[in-house]
Amino acid sequence: MSLFDKLPLPPVYYHGREMNYWRANDRDQWMKINESSVRLFVADHGYAKKNDGGINSEADECVMRIQSEQNVVYAAALAGYDAGSYEMNGKTILVTDGMKRIVPKAGEWPTLSRLFEGMFVDGEINQRDYFYGWLKSGLATFRCGTWRASQMLALAGDAGSGKSLTQNLITELFGGRCAKPYQFMRGGTEFNSQLFAGEHLMLEDESESVDMRSRRHFAAMMKTLLCGREQSCHGKNREAVMLRPLWRMSCSLNFDPERLLVLPPLDEDIRDKIIALKVVSHEMPMRTETEAEKELFWQTLVNELPAFAAYLETWAVPDGLRDERYGIRAYQHPEIVERLNATSSEVRLLELVDLTLFRNQYQRRPWVGSAAELERKLTDDQSAFRDEARRLLKWENACGAYLGRLERCQEGYQAGRVSSRLIHGRREWTIQPPERDQEVEKETTIVAPVEPPGQTPSLSREVRASLGLD
């Protein structure tokens, strides 16, 4: 029996792409070492450094076996995993730094309870079940180490309402590590390796791009990160590697219409992937006027997290809110839905239609025609709103796509106003005029002033901002 049959290979891994070695220390932490240090470490595990008549020493043979048998394609922290080696997509990876798990411990959490009650109870609307369900699903995923699709948690409220504070608490609860994905999600960089070291992907009051194309790109990236099991980890000057991070994403933003436009449109493809909660302005459960008071408040909240985690383990998602895919059903506060719908592309199209085709209160007959005919009508040189319409309908078949969304819409004033039918292979659209208050109709003949051709009346502030006119 040879030496290699008697001695196991030492806990050393070789990163072939970066040509370095990693070994565990006495505290089960992983450290990067060079080849000279590897030989000393190997010798300390019983392999002779001196050549005893052969071509290579025992230590040399051991190092070559490590390069061959214990080589990895990735060596760094990975969201949701403890330190150690894993097989992933047919490759060996080394997680060098594990998450700092909070150990659940039965107890009281009165300060957290008062904080969350003040934030998420809005009159008769109690949003805490959705918040707790989202947290519970995340903790269960990290505990068992099994990937599961998740939703983005959006917290919308005024400054000082506790949005950022809650995000920091989520980071602590989910392992103590966060990453900022916004630049990658908006296409500002193609490198994303820094995201793989944080369980909590955190966006805070991001408002650089609110045009529809950027918002839909954001939605596509959000779906990729949260609903894609395998992710491409790409560092600068590094070859990309496929990994399986365990992520949860949250976003905090002010309740202003312009800030809410960071969120993607709540269409049928994205609505089940967002939990959007309105954060109510309220009095904090402890004084926070001085820095010392703020630090005491923070430490009190952190100290209650083990008890809160124990509560979430035994707390059951209420009937009717369970979701097989995500663990908790998606939810958007009605006021958030109303404000987002008011600035979506399809709603802007309907607003332009109303201002162009149904401006006079006596124009009560439905408009019937093709999407191309409607586009020509809105963008014609004689149209008072031609500039806004051309900006909105700047890509091919945009008009037909927006009409299709309006036809499927079952909420708000646009519900039931658009329908279609196929006639000899051609889709014909019918747009019903908006409902008008009867008392107003008796007193008012003109809904909006008629401007001469070539002059563009003002749309709402939100619509103009989303069109890039302000």
Report which DSSP code applies to 97: S
Beta carbons of 48 and 58 less than 8 angstroms apart: yes
Q: How far apart are CA 407 and CA 392, in angstroms?
A: 18
Instruction: List the domain boundaries for the chain.
Output: 3-72, 110-335, 342-466
**Cα-based distances in Å from 188 to 35, 181, 184, 192:** 38, 10, 6, 11
For domain 110-335, which architecture applies?
Answer: 3-Layer(aba) Sandwich (3.40)
Give the pair of three-digit tokens for residue 50: 């001196």
Per-residue model confidence (pLDDT) at position 462: 47
Per-residue model confidence (pLDDT) at position 54: 62
Give the gyration radius of the chain's Cα atoms: 29
Per-residue model confidence (pLDDT) at position 45: 81
Higher pLDDT, 415 or 106: 106
Per-residue model confidence (pLDDT) at position 347: 84
The pLDDT tens digits for 297-332 are 999 999 999 999 999 999 999 999 999 999 999 999
Q: Is the pLDDT of residue 188 over 70?
A: yes
Give the pair of three-digit tokens for residue 10: 């030492």
Q: Is the pLDDT of residue 444 over 70?
A: no
Confidence of residue 43 (pLDDT cuts 50, 70, 90): confident
Per-residue model confidence (pLDDT) at position 469: 44
The pLDDT tens digits for 201-233 are 999 876 556 666 777 788 899 999 999 999 999
Per-residue model confidence (pLDDT) at position 179: 96
Per-residue model confidence (pLDDT) at position 448: 37
Per-residue model confidence (pLDDT) at position 360: 75
Q: What value does the mean pLDDT take over residues 181-193? A: 90
Higher pLDDT, 70 or 412: 70
Query: By C-alpha distance, which of 32, 55, 40, 36 is closest to 10?
Result: 40
Residue 332 burial class via C-beta count within 10 angstroms: exposed 0-12, middle 13-18, buried 19 and up: buried
